[in-house]
Copies of this chain bind each other. A is one copy, B any other.
């Protein structure tokens, strides 16, 4: 594991550990364009698995995909007052549509004569262009609901970027739905939050707290923002997906009305919801360890790697013959297997490489295993090795993968429980917040108090949780009444 010698430990510098891991596991790298990353094939393969499952879940809940333009006229952004306030500050602006050769020999320059009449913005999110489109799609209640999703790239000109967590360009999906009633739109927003929670917990093995954002943390233009919040191994929160009840704000901004069953015009009700390549950050930071990436089997591009230990071609042929039926059996079970018989890398190098890349199960077998009818199995999550009979190994692996998936979730859940506390005084809060984790505390419901806490402690309200203790109390800062405890944390 020579490659890993200089790998920073989580306990030494969590942030540096993360940055190094993204590079060493071959997930992504910085590009030549400020704040934009290159997602490398191994990282992209994980993202594809995420996309595949999410897309299936969206379709199962009745959604269809479509595609809307990358560029948004500047004037569209201004239509919804909160929305422009939230997104105009950091955006890429297209002003010209041509380059030309500098007549003074200065190479290629922007052609000043090719200035656009109206500047175009690279979409930071697509509510405006989509609601401008929906105006033409909706006349009557019969045209509703519209349940559309888009897989796309978006751009927000962030000042401080980190790979996957916050990049100028990122990949995401954005659902945009249109409904005839407030109730139906609210139900849809909650339905999609539940889809996100289901995906996070059952595929990513990342436990999440579901809840509603405080007004300060709402999406620009929403009446309510629902969120799933995960806890990373440094105790910080990561907002992993949001679903917005937009009310009639965008319908009013773009004048989208429908004739209801009584033939009266009404504004259309809206939701939007999205998850992004940020989920990659959540996945990495929830499970990985000082040896590298740890992947839940359901999202691992390679679930089982088989490394033969051989000195010559005859050894390799004998091992291959023995292992071929196992590979076939595993693949018939829908398990993805890589048999790495490359002879230009030593087994030790391969072991280290697949460990860094988080392959859930590794099999190794050499000449002695052949004689004994055995194989060595290593679990990436626990790093434990076992020598097992090769007979029946496929069934064993199938169960092992299931067990890894579950135990990763349980480990993360236990971690969150161990790092979630209730606090009643602001003094204690200020002390405990330094240790990281989630703090359940009473808050008086005002933006002023939330702002004060944020300024003084860098902690924000992650959400007002749907589940858990609903006992009323008094705000830890002002002593005013509080309906229930809310989740505070420092966040990514």
Contact = CB atoms under 8 A, between A and B. Distances in A.
A157 B96 CA distance: 10
A32 interface: yes
A91 B95 contact: no
Contacts of A95: 93-96, 110
A88 B36 CA distance: 22
Given A67-B39, A129-B31, A133-B38, A93 B91 contact: no
Contacts of A472: none
A-B pairs with lowest CB-CB distance, top 4 = A41-B64, A36-B69, A88-B99, A39-B67
B41 A122 contact: no
A307 B202 CA distance: 38
A90 interface: yes
Contact of A94 (B66, B77, B93): B93
Interface in A44-86: 44-45, 48, 64-78, 84
28 contacts: A31-B129, A32-B69, A32-B73, A32-B129, A37-B69, A38-B133, A41-B64, A41-B65, A41-B148, A44-B64, A44-B67, A45-B65, A67-B171, A70-B122, A70-B153, A70-B155, A74-B99, A78-B107, A89-B98, A89-B99, A89-B100, A90-B97, A91-B99, A92-B120, A93-B94, A93-B97, A110-B119, A142-B344
Q: What bracket does the count of chain A residues touching chain B fall in?
A: 35 or more
A99 B122 contact: no
Contacts of A451: none
A216 B462 CA distance: 60
A29 interface: yes
Contact of A78 (B64, B66, B108): B108
Nearest to A128: B32
Given A90-B98, A92-B120, 15 more contacts: A29-B133, A29-B136, A32-B69, A32-B76, A32-B132, A33-B69, A41-B148, A75-B108, A89-B99, A91-B97, A92-B97, A93-B96, A94-B95, A94-B122, A97-B157
Interface in A270-307: none
Interface string A384-400: 00000000000000000
Interface string A118-142: 0111100000010011001000001
A69 B31 contact: yes
Interface in A368-424: none
Contacts of A67: 38-39, 44, 171
A360 B215 CA distance: 51
A253 B158 CA distance: 31
Interface string A339-373: 00000100000000000000000000000000000
A153 B151 CA distance: 11
A40 interface: yes
Interface of A is mostly: mixed
Contacts of A186: none
Please tell me how many copies of the chain the complex holds. Answer: 2
A169 interface: yes
Nearest to A89: B98
Given A136-B29, A344-B142, A36 B71 contact: yes
A69 B31 CA distance: 7
Nearest to A74: B108
A44 B66 contact: yes
A97 B295 CA distance: 36
Contact of A99 (B93, B108, B142, B148): B93
Contact of A65 (B48, B98, B133): B48
A372 to B, nearest CB: 34
A169 B93 contact: no
Given A44-B67, A92-B120, A96-B95, A33 B72 contact: yes
Interface in A156-206: 157, 169, 171
B65 A44 contact: yes
A433 to B, nearest CB: 33
Contacts of A70: 36, 122, 153, 155, 169
Instruction: Name, among A74, A142, A344, the residue most crowded by chain B CB atoms within 10 Å (CB to CB).
Output: A74
Nearest to A39: B67
A92 B133 CA distance: 22
